[in-house]
Amino acid sequence: AQSVSQHNHHVILSEAASLELGCNYSYGGTVNLFWYVQYPGQHLQLLLKYFSGDPLVKGIKGFEAEFIKSKFSFNLRKPSVQWSDTAEYFCAVNFMDSNYQLIWGAGTKLIIKP
Amino acid sequence: GAVVSQHPSRVICKSGTSVKIECRSLDFQATTMFWYRQFPKQSLMLMATSNEGSKATYEQGVEKDKFLINHASLTLSTLTVTSAHPEDSSFYICSARDIGNEQYFGPGTRLTVT
C-alpha cells in the first residue's frame, strides 16, 4: 500500500531560523503532492501543491517545496520563519494510479519561539 | 476559490445517541466526497469515499453500520455516527473533489460524546 512519511513529528525553532520539513512517499506511479497547514483552532488550509511542471513550487506565506522525483520527496521550506508559522503541517500525496487516493503524512507540529 | 462547509462545527452528545454531520460543496459540484477522522497527535485517516448516488466505500476497519454515509446530491454528503460512544469522540473532516481532481476540505466537526 502507498504511504507518506514525515520525518519529524515536532520541530521547535526560533524566529528567523530557516525551516525544512521532510516528506517522502512510497513509489506509486504518477502523483500530485500537497502541503497543508492547520493553525491552532483552525481548519486545514492548502499551502501549496505540485501537479506538473517546475518542481520548485511557491506557495502562500513565503513557503516553497521542491519535488525530487528520484528521491520520492517533497520537502517544505521557508528561509525565515515567524512566530505566526506555529502550526501543524501535513504532507499529502494523491496517487493517481490508485483511484486518486489521497494519503496523508502524520503531520509535523512546528513551534516557533518568539 | 471552492468552499466546503460542515455543519455543525461542534457537537456534544450523550452516549447511545446518533449524530449527523453535513458536508456541503458551496460553489461547485462534487461527484466524490471523502470523510476523514483525525485522532489526537495523529494524521487524518480516511474513513470512506462517497460517490453521489451510490454506496460509500469504507476503509478497512471502519464500521459501515456505525458510520452511515449518504451522498444524495452533487453538493451534499452526510455522515451519521450511530449509537455514539466516548471513543467516537474525534475531529471529523470532509473533503470534496472537483472535476479537476483537487480536494477542498471542510472546516471539520468536533464531536464529543459524554
- pLDDT score recorded for residue B114: 96
B86 vs B101: CA distance, rounded Å: 35
Q: Are strands A10-14 and A108-113 parallel, antiparallel or unpaired?
A: parallel
Phi, psi of A70 (to 5 degrees): -65, -25
Is residue A64 within a helix (H) or strand (E), and if so which, with residue range?
strand A64-68
Identity of the residue in A9, A44, A49 whose CB atom sits nearest the CB atom of B105: A44
pLDDT tens for B59-100 read: 889 999 999 999 889 999 999 999 999 999 988 999 988 887
Using the predicted structure, report yes or no on whether residue A28 has a pLDDT greater than 80: no
Which residues in A lie closer than 8 A to residue B41 (C-beta atoms)? 9
Tens digit of pLDDT for each residue in B35-52? 999 776 566 788 999 988
Question: Which residues of B are less than 8 Å from A8 in CB distance?
Answer: none
A102 touches chain B (CB under 8 A): yes
The tens digit of pLDDT for each residue in A55-98 reads 999 999 999 999 999 999 999 999 999 999 999 899 988 877 76
Picking from A90, A94, A100, the nearest residue to B43 by CB comes out as A90
Strand partners, B6: B23
Q: Which residues contact B62 (CB under 8 A, 6 or more apart)?
A: B47, B48
| Grid-cell match 499551502, residue found | A47
